[in-house]
Amino acid sequence: MTRVRPRARRPPRLPEPRGTLSAAVLERLRGTASGRLPSADGCSPYGDDLQLALYVLYELHYRGFRDVPDDLEWDSDLLAIRGTLEDRFLGTLRADVVPALADTAGRALEGLLSDPVHDPGSVSHFLRDAGTLEQLRDYAALRSLYHLKEADPHAWVIPRLYGRAKAAMVAVEFDEFGAGRADEIHSELYADLMEDLQLNTAYGHYLDAAPAEMLAVVNLMSLFGLHRALRAALVGHFAAVEVTSSPASRRLAEALSRVGAGPAAVRFYTEHVEADAVHEQVVRHEVVAGLLEDEPGLDADVVFGIRATSLLEGRLAARLLKAWHRGSTPIQGRHA
């Protein structure tokens, strides 16, 4: 039997609000709200207030928050406001994601396979070539909002798939969850990376530090995962992540080695270089192809998932690179 290192397993504390909407949601979770929740009208769909409120509401379906009753996961008022926020977020994404002429899932994924030697808009290229240890710590702290629950959002799609696609998706998720070994679960490997970089490994610790662009990246997975109607978009998202992961992970492993990070930090990415090269093939040729074989009418939704992922990852990359080129940090609030 394998054992993982003892780490804090308590749910995180509620974050600080970033506007009237998130403040009202947080008050409702604390049991101190009075009256109806405010309207989302006027909130930027990609802005801090809406993205934080949506993130907090989604987290009720994951590990919840300290001192927040579990049954609020299905509170009708909270579900209603979540639906409103989702409509604004999803509507904006659909307006901003413009598919190429005659776009198909196959063509969209083929486009992601091209990996340029130099890409000025790529975080992994920047970190490999010029990143400092502090910038890598910035990046690791922010990405922890996803990687400490890595593969969890994608597990929601499994009961919504059939035969070939389901079997292949389960096979990939089995690897993500450690192939039966608790110490090999990818979220645990990421906690090892954070420990190596002297970061706090507690789930959700860096929520207050994360800008809206990071929250939107994580919220996208939850949005797709919690809606059966968006199952093909979640498959597209997962495919986009797996196709781009291996080369980016190689660059991040090289970056960490260059700045003298420890073996656990490097190992997280070297593990993904090999594993995701295999996963990319399985997801493209079995999960996506199997889904579209069963439900060919969902091709456009797969494309949307791919394009939306690229859009939000691009917004996050622009935020990070702008801060780093200025010599500042993209992290809001605490870092340690």
Confidence of residue 24 (pLDDT cuts 50, 70, 90): very high
Q: What integer pLDDT is reported at residue 275 of this predicted model?
A: 75
On whether both 146 and 168 belong to a single domain, the answer is yes
More confidently predicted of 243 and 101: 243
Query: What digits encode the pLDDT tens for the residues 182-234?
Result: 999 999 999 999 999 999 999 999 999 999 999 999 999 999 999 999 999 99
In a domain, 158, yes or no: yes
- Chain-centroid distance of CA 176 in Å reads 14
In a domain, 109, yes or no: yes
Q: Decide if pLDDT at 8 tops 70.
A: no
Q: Decide if pLDDT at 164 tops 50.
A: yes
DSSP-derived secondary structure for 162-185 = -HHHHHHHHHHHHHHTGGG-GGG-
Q: What integer pLDDT is reported at residue 7 of this predicted model?
A: 61
Confidence of residue 13 (pLDDT cuts 50, 70, 90): very high
Residue 124 is encoded by which pair of tokens?
């992994």
Q: Decide if pLDDT at 154 tops 50.
A: yes
Strands (E), the chain: none
Q: What integer pLDDT is reported at residue 32 of this predicted model?
A: 83
In a domain, 248, yes or no: yes
Do residues 303 and 104 touch, judged by C-beta distance below 8 A?
yes
CA atoms of 284 and 281, how far apart (whole Å): 5
In this structure, how many other beta carbons lie within 10 angstroms of the beta carbon of residue 187? 20
- In this prediction the pTM is 0.94
Specify the range with the lowest mean pLDDT, choosing from 123-132, 166-175, 274-283, 327-336.
327-336
Do residues 258 and 133 touch, judged by C-beta distance below 8 A?
no
Q: What integer pLDDT is reported at residue 228 of this predicted model?
A: 97
On whether both 197 and 160 belong to a single domain, the answer is yes
Average pLDDT, the chain: 92
Number of folded domains in the chain?
Answer: 2
On whether both 91 and 163 belong to a single domain, the answer is no
Q: Choose the final residue of a domain: 96, 121, 152.
A: 96
On whether both 79 and 145 belong to a single domain, the answer is no
CA atoms of 150 and 238, how far apart (whole Å): 11
Q: What integer pLDDT is reported at residue 1 of this predicted model?
A: 38
Residue 118, phi-psi category: left (phi > 0), alpha (psi -120 to 50), beta (remainder): beta
Specify the range with the lowest mean pLDDT, choosing from 100-114, 261-275, 301-315.
100-114
Half-sphere exposure of 210 (CA within 13 A, CB side): 27
In a domain, 13, yes or no: no
Q: Which residue in this structure is represented by tokens 């899932």?
A: 105
Give the CA distances from residue 255 to residues 272, 282, 320, in Å, rounded to whole numbers and listed in that order: 15, 28, 16
On whether both 77 and 118 belong to a single domain, the answer is no
Q: What integer pLDDT is reported at residue 39 of this predicted model?
A: 77
On whether both 214 and 167 belong to a single domain, the answer is yes
In a domain, 223, yes or no: yes
Q: Choose the final residue of a domain: 96, 125, 155.
A: 96
On whether both 181 and 130 belong to a single domain, the answer is yes
On whether both 193 and 288 belong to a single domain, the answer is yes
Q: Decide if pLDDT at 117 tops 70.
A: no
On whether both 199 and 303 belong to a single domain, the answer is yes
In a domain, 14, yes or no: no
- Chain-centroid distance of CA 320 in Å reads 16
| Of residues 290, 246, 259, the one with CA closest to residue 105 | 290
Question: What is the four-CA torsion angle of 187, 192, 194, 200, rounded to 10 degrees?
Answer: 90
In a domain, 64, yes or no: yes
CA atoms of 107 and 110, how far apart (whole Å): 5
Give the CA distances from residue 267 to residues 3, 133, 191, in Å, rounded to whole numbers and listed in that order: 18, 16, 12
Domain that holds residue 32: 20-96
- DSSP class of residue 286 equals I
Q: What integer pLDDT is reported at residue 6 of this predicted model?
A: 57
Confidence of residue 101 (pLDDT cuts 50, 70, 90): low
Confidence of residue 2 (pLDDT cuts 50, 70, 90): very low
Residue 302 is encoded by which pair of tokens?
């797969």
Q: What integer pLDDT is reported at residue 69 of this predicted model?
A: 96
On whether both 126 and 260 belong to a single domain, the answer is yes
On whether both 78 and 126 belong to a single domain, the answer is no
Query: What digits encode the pLDDT tens for the residues 40-98?
Result: 888 899 999 999 999 999 999 999 999 999 999 999 999 999 999 999 999 999 999 98
More confidently predicted of 334 and 206: 206
Q: Choose the final residue of a domain: 71, 96, 121.
A: 96
Residues in the chain: 336
On whether both 141 and 265 belong to a single domain, the answer is yes
CA atoms of 24 and 99, how far apart (whole Å): 36
Confidence of residue 333 (pLDDT cuts 50, 70, 90): low
CA atoms of 157 and 256, how far apart (whole Å): 33
In a domain, 15, yes or no: no
- Assign residue 206 the CATH number of its domain: 1.20.910.10
